[in-house]
Amino acid sequence: MNKLISIITFSVVILASLGLLIWIAGPKDSRSGANQAANSDLVIDEPVFDFGNISMAAGVVSHEFRVKNTGNNEAIVGQIYTSCMCTSASFRNGEIKFGPFGMAGHGFIPKINGKIGVGEEAIIKVDFDPAAHGPSGVGLAERSVYIETNSAKTPKIELRFTATVTN
């Protein structure tokens, strides 16, 4: 019985030590990012875009939303996902690019570390496939792209677009 208790105690100590090592070796931004970015503020000049009338036959249409950090600290985009599988979104800041990302719940949406420095502007490129819903997808389409950040002022941003889909 004492041997079993020793084995269990030893196993618990080893697991706790491994957990502590993993936490210490992990990314520092996840523990200190909220405090560092408390004064970051992401602004979108045009949070809603209208594609107007688009034909299914014309294929995928795109729009670039500009996101500017007007705060006093670097902002970090943690995740980007869309409201529908017909839409994808990508992050670009200079040569750094992440994506494309799709709908949450329909595949893995990874955490990213998309940095936007003070005064910098990043691009969120949105692609919409009007034919994704087939013939029944004609009419008004309203979709969203969600951006999760470490900013205290703008922790979650919603970009929206509309399109009137025709055959």
User: Given pLDDT bands bounded at 50, 70 and 90, which one contains residue 93?
Assistant: very high
Mean pLDDT of 37-48: 84
Q: Which phi and psi angles does 154 have, rounded to 5°?
A: -135, 70
Give the mean pLDDT of the chain: 87
pLDDT of res. 160: 98
Supply the pLDDT for residue 22: 59
Q: What pLDDT band is residue 14 in, cutting at 50, 70 and 90?
A: confident
Q: How far is CA 166 from CA 85, 128, 135, in A?
A: 19, 14, 9
pTM of the model: 0.76
Q: Which residue has the tokens 């939303």?
A: 65
Q: Pull the structure tokens for residue 25.
A: 């070796």
Q: Any idea what DSSP says for residue 104?
A: T
